[in-house]
Amino acid sequence: MNRLTVWGGVFALLILQACDNGTPERMQTDNSVTDKVTFTSSIENNSASRAYDGKWEKNDRIGVFMLNNADGTPIESNVPYITSSGDGNFVGDGDFIRFPEEGTVVDFVACYPYKADLADGLSYSVDVSDQSSQKAIDLMVSNNLTGRDLTNQATGNNLQFTHVLSKLVLNLSAADNSSLRGLKVYVLGTKARTSVSLKDKKQAEPAGEAQDILMYINENCTQAEAVLVPQAIGGKLKLRLEINGKSKEVETGIEGELAANNKYVYSLKVSNAGNQITTDPEATYTRWFETPVITESQLAQSNIRYITHYGPDDEKVRNYSMLYDTELKIAYWVAYPLCSYYTEGSGKRTDDWGFDPAISSSLQADLKKGFSGFDRGHQLPSADRVRSNRMNATTFYYTNMTPQIGKGLNQTIWADLEEAVRGWSSGIDTLFVVTGAMPTTQTDTHITYTRDNSGNNVAVPKYYFKALARRLSATGSYQTIAFKLDQREYGDRNYRQYAISVNELEEITGFTFFPQIDEQYKDNSNAW
């Protein structure tokens, strides 16, 4: 399946842009009996839910079938295998499958979760009406191991699992500090039952009457999830929100079908204040993995612009994007990918200061000679874009600048943090970065201004932040971290002491970062 992001309305059909799933390097074997079959495994993580992003858990069990390669008849049926340590290496849970002694060529089919009573052999029945335990309904199937015999015990047998159902993820945030405790979210008018052929992953027609399916919501009411049966949709998929006796329907951008092995991500701000539920859905805009959520109400403001820049040497390559305020003349955030493609090349620091061609110069600060008393602080650092001089020049657009204290901040601790971020991008596929500058705080909404070269007001940020995410190819899991530094002179250069979790940064700024990443990975900065 191609890895790309397709947006329909306000909904994301997400195919994660990251490294390929890692395959465990070792395989558990019993050297005393060489015909026992053991397995390694990998998970295609496009719609991952139970084994999020390809990560198994301790004591996960699968059912394995061994079929005659010649005619497809079962030789062994639904034998339970277990990964005791959760590393994806599976051994028989009591019984083992053994390769036929006579050298018969066989195929293997496996399914997760293990179901002891598969009533119809290789047909797996699914009912997603109860979402309280998603691990019990998140069906994954592997049928890639074909044409195997005893010689493959030495070369290894890797089961490649794919999700055969659909996944809906709803990122929730509270507006106006209203509580979302007790919120219920229903997916309206979908069928909940089907059956899947394990041999070819083909799904039967969805069965039963269309019903409203209650989504699973995490303890903090920040994310709702539903594993859904792939099916055609009449019109657009709708949700119903209920809280404290109030109800509101929300129309999504999903229409046509819920596709197998696809994950749909949606972000929604919800207010429970007053006599009714109000919502601020995610806007329609070009976005990537690193792009924070932008709501419809934000883009409806005349002073807010979403600006995207592509590579000047290759227009198919994304460079960076930003949420820019034409009144304050600064960007609230700049989001960009970081890897060797951008940091290695023939380019150098160009100091090619100039207006951003994406918007009128009248909407930007005039900074040819810089600020008085402040540095022209890059949000996307110059050193992060040295593939070519043309690409480096894009970091000197005035939209990428803010008035930043030089001594004790931009030239010291902040510069050290920028250098560390570049270091963290090595050895991985891509580091996803959001750098931001906020002109107000939760307790101080007064905006301070300085002047540009033409005498126009430019907002002075009260603090700066960075949010980072990286994917671990070995496990398929994510690590995130954030930093928040106030606009002041620092006597030290220890940026580490200003590290916080991405979830904490979301609470401080009001932005939602990395909406495709599960909440559990945004709550811990210690693993970085």
Residues involved in catalysis:
378
The total number of structural domains that make up the chain: 2
Note down the domain range covering 50: 29-163
Within a domain: residue 53? yes
- Residue 96 DSSP SS3: coil
What local confidence, expressed as pLDDT, does residue 119 receive?
Answer: 59
Within a domain: residue 9? no
Within a domain: residue 182? no
- In this structure, the strands spanning 60-68 and 74-83 are antiparallel
d(CA 37, CA 99): 7
d(CA 12, CA 17): 13
Question: For residue 329, what is the domain's CATH number?
Answer: 3.40.570.10
What local confidence, expressed as pLDDT, does residue 34 receive?
Answer: 55
What local confidence, expressed as pLDDT, does residue 156 receive?
Answer: 83
Domain final residue pick, 163, 195, 212: 163
Within a domain: residue 319? yes
* 427 contacts: CB under 8 Å, gap ≥ 6: none
The residues facing 110 across adjacent strands are 64, 142
Q: How many CB atoms within 10 Å of residue 151? A: 9
Domain final residue pick, 112, 131, 163: 163
CA distances from 75 to 71, 79, 154, 169, 322 (A): 11, 11, 21, 39, 58
DSSP 420: H
What local confidence, expressed as pLDDT, does residue 120 receive?
Answer: 64
Question: For residue 142, what is the domain's CATH number?
Answer: 2.60.40.2620
410 assigned to a ligand binding site: yes
What local confidence, expressed as pLDDT, does residue 187 receive?
Answer: 98
The answer to whether the beta carbons of residues 139 and 234 sit under 8 Å apart is no
Domain final residue pick, 132, 147, 163: 163
Within a domain: residue 339? yes
CA distances from 395 to 312, 400, 414, 466 (A): 12, 6, 17, 17
What local confidence, expressed as pLDDT, does residue 438 receive?
Answer: 99
What local confidence, expressed as pLDDT, does residue 45 receive?
Answer: 64
3-state SS string over 128-196? CCCCCCHHHCCCEEECCCCCECCCHHHHCCEEEEEECCEEEEEEEEECCCCCCCCCEEEEEEECCEEEE
Which residue in the block uniquely carries the two structure tokens 């047909």? 123
CA distances from 376 to 42, 357, 398, 411 (A): 47, 18, 9, 11
Within a domain: residue 117? yes
How do the pLDDT tens digits run along the chain, 528 residues long?
Answer: 333 222 333 344 333 333 333 333 333 444 344 578 999 998 886 444 444 445 789 999 999 999 999 999 999 999 999 999 999 999 999 999 999 988 899 999 999 999 998 856 799 999 999 999 988 999 999 999 999 998 887 778 999 999 999 999 999 998 877 889 999 999 999 999 999 999 999 999 999 999 999 999 999 899 999 999 999 998 999 999 999 999 999 998 888 999 999 999 989 999 888 788 899 988 989 989 999 999 999 999 999 999 999 999 888 999 999 999 999 999 999 999 999 999 999 999 999 999 999 999 999 999 999 999 999 999 999 999 999 999 999 999 999 999 999 999 999 999 999 999 999 999 889 999 999 999 999 999 999 999 999 999 999 999 999 999 999 877 778 999 999 999 999 999 999 999 999 999 999 999 999 998 988 899 988 877
Q: How many CB atoms within 10 Å of residue 45? A: 24
d(CA 16, CA 47): 9
